[in-house]
Amino acid sequence: MNALQQSATPPARPAPLQLRTAYAVCRHITRSAAKNFYYAFLVLPRRKRSALSAVYAFMRRADDISDDPALKVEEKAGRLEALLDAMHAVIGGQQTDDPVLMALADTQRRYQLPVALLDKLVAGTAMDVFGVPNTGGDPRTGVFSSDFGEHPEVRRMMVGEPGAPRLMCASFSELYTYCYHVASVVGLACIRIFGYRDRAAEPLAEKTGVAFQLTNILRDVREDAAMGRIYLPAEDLARFGLTPADFVAPDAAKLRPLLEFEAQRAREFYLAAPKLLPYIQPESKPALWVLVEIYRRLLEKMAQRNFDVSGEKVRLSTLEKLQVAARGAWWRLR
């Protein structure tokens, strides 16, 4: 075989048994770690459930690197870069024994997932480490290009206070950038696996992803603060007369106006979800509905508790999520 023939030879693909095992590993990771996504996946056809599990398992690996307290910042950067390099290599045809990358590469090929979406997903997890850049900012250093000249209180908070959590975003624009990378790009990958009939679905999936991430941020505000991070924008804290120190031992009554404000912002983004549903292939609509219903119920459960972040973290029970999934399954079977 000459060199030209060799270069035209398609890359070897995993054996069927090897690929089935890789997808099984990804489904196990999803079942173990995806406390909300998993219930939406249950009402999908198996092939799509497996594909979404591969995307989730890859996302989970990147998240675990960013959240690992045992790793120094430089080590996290190196491991995220290595993960990106390995992902690109496997998608490009390099053989691997890594089940997550194997299943992800197969999913990317089957559903024509833009590799740029996967790159952005890892970039989003890097923002947990380096901060969220504004236009012209450097995500590795957390340097922001916003002009805070007219907002000295915001500038002061972004510099940080000794012993207080770090503010990750100066403005809602920066928070939107973060939400886009860690949630909207997942939504854009999901709708490619779901199947959709019009590109008008894409901005709606983007907004729905932002709604999900705002819900996550509100639910995890105390937990994130304990890890030294506050994702709510500095400009909003200043608006409500708060500082990062107020999140160290949170006073529910003091934080409530800010959290209610952010919840209303999330509700506005949830308005995109019912507009998105008609664009999705019929067999996938129940899964999207289940996912939206679970996250929206989570937000309203927090509202019912008056956004009290001083107590137990708000969750939907397994029974509540199974009831939502059952309604989705019934919808699919009709």
> Could you write out the DSSP letters of every residue in 34-69?
-TTHHHHHTTS-HHHHHHHHHHHHHHHHHHHHHH-T
What pLDDT, on the 0 to 100 scale, is given for residue 150? 44
CB 122 within 8 A of CB 80: yes
Rounded distance between C-alpha atoms, residue 83 and residue 64, angstroms: 12
Rounded distance between C-alpha atoms, residue 46 and residue 255, angstroms: 43
What is the torsion angle, in degrees rounded to the nearest 10, for the CA atoms of residue 75, residue 129, residue 113 and residue 52?
90
Residue 161 pLDDT level (bands cut at 50, 70, 90): low
Residue 137 pLDDT greater than 90, yes or no: no
CB 290 within 8 A of CB 39: yes
Task: Report residue 297 as tokens.
Answer: 């119920």
Residue 326 pLDDT greater than 80, yes or no: yes
Where are any strands of DSSP class E within 105-234? 166-167, 229-230
Residue 329 pLDDT greater than 90, yes or no: no
What residue has token string 């450097």? 138
Q: For residue 221, how many C-alpha atoms fall within 13 Å in the half-sphere facing its CB?
A: 29
265-308 tens-digit pLDDT: 999 999 999 999 999 999 999 999 999 999 999 999 999 999 99
Of the given ranges (20-29, 95-104, 160-169, 171-180), which has the lowest mean pLDDT?
A: 160-169
Residue 41 pLDDT level (bands cut at 50, 70, 90): confident
What residue has token string 């901060």? 131
What residue has token string 């009939």? 197
Instruction: State percent of the chain over pLDDT 90.
Output: 65
Residue 160 pLDDT greater than 80, yes or no: no
Residue 255 pLDDT greater than 90, yes or no: yes
Residue 226 pLDDT greater than 60, yes or no: yes
Q: What is the rounded average pLDDT of the residues 69-83?
A: 92
Q: List, by residue range, all CATH 1.10.600.10 domains of the chain.
A: 15-130, 131-334
CA torsion sign, 136 to 137 to 143 to 149? positive
All residues at 6 or more sequence positions from 256 whose CB lies less than 8 Å from its CB, including other chains: 306, 307, 308
CB 44 within 8 A of CB 34: no
Rounded distance between C-alpha atoms, residue 195 and residue 111, angstroms: 9
What pLDDT, on the 0 to 100 scale, is given for residue 248? 86
CB 231 within 8 A of CB 314: no
Rounded distance between C-alpha atoms, residue 220 and residue 107, angstroms: 30
Residue 171 pLDDT greater than 50, yes or no: yes
Domain spanning 15-130, CATH architecture: Orthogonal Bundle (1.10)
Long-range contacts of 45-49 (CB under 8 A, 24+ apart): 45/283, 48/193, 48/194, 48/283, 48/284, 48/287
Residue 103: what residue type? A
> Whole-prediction pTM value?
0.87
What pLDDT, on the 0 to 100 scale, is given for residue 142? 37
What pLDDT, on the 0 to 100 scale, is given for residue 135? 45
Rounded distance between C-alpha atoms, residue 126 and residue 66, angstroms: 6
Q: What is the rounded average pLDDT of the residues 193-204?
A: 95
Residue 252: what residue type? A
Instruction: State percent of the chain over pLDDT 70.
Output: 86
Of the given ranges (2-11, 54-63, 96-105, 185-194), which has the lowest mean pLDDT?
A: 2-11
Q: Which of 12, 99, 63 is nearest to 220 (CA)?
A: 63
Task: Report residue 140 as tokens.
Answer: 């590795």
Long-range contacts of 73-78 (CB under 8 A, 24+ apart): 73/129, 73/130, 76/126, 76/129, 77/126, 77/129, 77/130, 77/140
CATH topology of domain 131-334: Farnesyl Diphosphate Synthase (1.10.600)
| Cross-strand bridge partners of residue 280 | 196
Q: What is the rounded average pLDDT of the residues 148-172?
A: 61
Q: Mean pLDDT for the chain?
A: 86
